[in-house]
Amino acid sequence: MVALLAAAAVAPWSHPLAFRPVAGWRAGASGTVASRYGAGRESAAWLARGVRYRDPATADPPNRTLATLPRRAIVVWAVAFEGTARERRPIVLDLRRARRLPCCESTRVAGGMEELHGLGRRRAYTVYVRVYFGSRPTAATRAAAQRALGRLDLS
């Protein structure tokens, strides 16, 4: 019982997922909502630079936003949800560890998408973070995306 209470205290639905402010970026979040990743709850948040975010915070992927993604724009999207069955390790918010994946359902993203995933605090929930680039990422855009990742509050 104590372990369940401790896990609930660190889960993002007791303090919804959010990005701390970053100069030049816009942010949004869903708060706590019913999960689309299975039973339970989820919390999603996003940061965008160089593009107006046009989707609900929980949109996975945010196709309306990605359809208008200009060159040099960056979108960082994150979701935390109940369940840890597939994950084995804590998430590390380091873009050098990201997997480059094809993107997206119906929208071409010129710079592609990179994904990080793992367990949240005390292994109490799963976290996915996706970074979308409007053009092929340069050292500067990757550094900007990494600074944005550092603003994700997983507490």
Predicted confidence at residue 102, as pLDDT, reads 75
**Residue 140 CB coordination number (10 Å):** 9
CA distance 56 to 51: 15
Looking at residue 109, its pLDDT comes to 86
Tell me the pLDDT tens digit for each residue of 37-77: 877 899 999 999 999 999 999 999 999 999 989 999 999 99
In the predicted model, is pLDDT for residue 13 greater than 80? Answer: no
pLDDT in tens, 127-151: 999 999 999 999 999 999 999 999 9
* CA atoms lying within 13 Å on the CB side of residue 47: 25
Contacts of residue 61, Cβ cutoff 8 Å, sequence gap at least 6: 77, 103, 104, 105, 107, 113, 130, 132
pLDDT at 153 over 50: yes
